Amino acid sequence: MFGPIVKPKDLREAVQRVAEGGRPLAGGTDLFVRIRKGLEKPGMLVYVGELPELGVLRATREGLEIGAARTHSELLESPLTEPFPILRKTLGTIASPALRAMGTLGGNLVNASPAGDSLVALYLLEAQVRIVGPQGERELFVQEFIQGPGKTGLRPGELVVSVFLPYVEGEPVSYFRKVGRRQALYISVVSLGALVWLDGEKITKARLALGSVAPTVVRPRAVEEALVGRLAHVEAVQDLVSLLSSLVQPISDLRASADYRRKVSGNLLLDLALFLQNRK
């Protein structure tokens, strides 16, 4: 079904193997499913799960660097992710405990699924993706890195080493709502994440990100801007529901129709407003 699995001794060898056409393997929670279904037939798998560079978890003055091979459960449990409640909220909804123990942040990222739950947090936090390849290292913002369903800015031979999350200023309220077809272990049909800065009941700044409603996670800038200066109340944002619906480009698939996704994208703004209103 697939070629040999090699375990490079260091990052340099890993890059070399990947440049030879090897497919990086960390948790394997998506890759092995794809291989089993015959969607991919990699000639060689390059196991990067234990490379030290991909296992970093380091807080600096500017932010947090997370190695690409860190698992979702490690990140959920680490005290270092405490300043990023939105990350924890999204990671906590990924798949099941068993899969969270295997799946990695880097894997979720390079999968580049519009439904990737962690991506909503990475977009909200304006994360930077650190890449290494035959030509050396470079960095991309997550929104530059993700180019479409399954498509990333990785060039041949490159692999993701880590993700850098800059600290956000102030203390925004974190909100994440994942809509799907059951209570756990599901792929999102629509998701909305938000960081909202409040002065009393007034919104001073907002970042919103929607999953599963476009080829990539969407930041609805027009709504983010329109929210500034408004009260965090359902009534105060009612008129933005249709604007938000108009900013997404969903498709119809087996999980839901485009129409449903558009409608719910807008409706979730009301859920966010109610959440802010009820928050104490």
Partner 1 sequence: MNPTQIAEGKAVGQGVLRVDAEAKVAGQARYIDDLGFPGMVHAQVVRSDRPHARLRRLDLSPVLAHPKVVAVVTPRDIPGQNCVPIIYRDMPALAEDVVRYVGEPVALVAAETREAAREAALRARIDFEDLPAVFDPLEALNPGAPQAAVREAAEQGNVFNAMRIRKGNVEEGFAQADVIVEGEYRVGYQEHLYLEPQGVIAVPEEGGMTVYGSLQCPFYVQNAVATVLGLPFAKVRIVQTVTGGGFGGKEDVPSHLAAMAALLAWKSKRPVKLVYDRDEDIATTSKRHPGIIRYRTGAKRDGTLTAVEVEFFYNAGAYQTLSSAVLWRGLIHAAGPYRIPHVKVDGYSVATHTVPCGAFRGFGSPQVIFAHESQMDELAKALGMDPLALRAKNALRVGDRTATDQVLEESVGLWECIERVRALARWDELQREVEEFNRRERFRRRGLGVSTVMYGVGMGAKAPLLDKAGAYVKLEVDGSVTVAVGTTEMGQGAQTVLSQIAAEALGVPISSVQIAPVDTSRVPDSGPTVASRTTTVQGQAIVDAAAKLRQRIDQAVRLILECPQFTLEGQTFCASGAARRRATLADVARWMWAHNWDMGATGWVEAAPVDWDPQTGLGKAYFVYSYAAHLAEVEVDLLTGEVKVTRFWAVHDSGKIVNPDTARGQVLGGIAQGIGYALLEELVSQDGRILYPTLTAYHIPTSADVPEVAVEFGEAPYSAGPFGAKGLGEVPLMASHVAVANAISRAVGRRLRQYPALPQRVLELVEGGLG
Task: Please say which residue, 63 or 114, places its beta carbon nearer to partner 1.
Answer: 114
Burial of 230 (0-12, 13-18, 19+ CB in 10 A): middle
Q: Taking a C-beta distance cutoff of 8 angstroms, is the pair 51, 11 a contact? A: yes
CA distance 87 to 166: 12
Helix ranges (H only) for the chain are: 11-19, 31-36, 72-77, 85-91, 97-102, 105-111, 117-124, 142-145, 221-227, 234-237, 241-246, 258-278
Residue 160 in the binding site for partner 1 (CB under 8 A): no
Residue 179 in the binding site for partner 1 (CB under 8 A): yes
Which of residues 41, 155, 181, 202 is near partner 1 by CB under 8 A?
181
- Per-residue binding letters, 67-106, with partner 1 (x by CB under 8 A): -----------------------------x----------
Nearest to 65 by CA among 129, 14, 112, 10: 129
CA distance 273 to 231: 9
Q: Taking a C-beta distance cutoff of 8 angstroms, is the pair 133, 155 a contact? A: yes
Report in angstroms how near the CB of residue 255 gets to partner 1 at its nearest: 8
Task: Please say which residue, 7 or 263, places its beta carbon nearer to partner 1.
Answer: 263
Residue 127 in the binding site for partner 1 (CB under 8 A): no
Task: Please say which residue, 144 or 259, places its beta carbon nearer to partner 1.
Answer: 259
Residue 184 in the binding site for partner 1 (CB under 8 A): yes
C-alpha 81, offset from chain centre: 15
Q: Taking a C-beta distance cutoff of 8 angstroms, is the pair 215, 249 a contact? A: yes
Residue 182 in the binding site for partner 1 (CB under 8 A): yes
Report in angstroms how near the CB of residue 61 gets to partner 1 at its nearest: 40
Task: Please say which residue, 14 or 189, places its beta carbon nearer to partner 1.
Answer: 189
Report in angstroms how near the CB of residue 141 gets to partner 1 at its nearest: 30
CA distance 69 to 50: 7
Residue 39 in the binding site for partner 1 (CB under 8 A): no
Task: Please say which residue, 46 or 237, places its beta carbon nearer to partner 1.
Answer: 237
CA distance 120 to 218: 8
Q: Taking a C-beta distance cutoff of 8 angstroms, is the pair 253, 115 a contact? A: no
> Which residues, numbered 219-278, are part of the site for partner 1 (CB under 8 A)?
234, 254, 256-257, 260, 263-264, 267-268, 270-271, 274
Report in angstroms how near the CB of residue 131 gets to partner 1 at its nearest: 29
The size of the interface with partner 1 (CB under 8 A), counted in residues, is 25
Which of residues 51, 190, 195, 206 is near partner 1 by CB under 8 A?
190
Positions touching partner 1 (CB under 8 A) are 1, 96, 179-187, 189-190, 234, 254, 256-257, 260, 263-264, 267-268, 270-271, 274
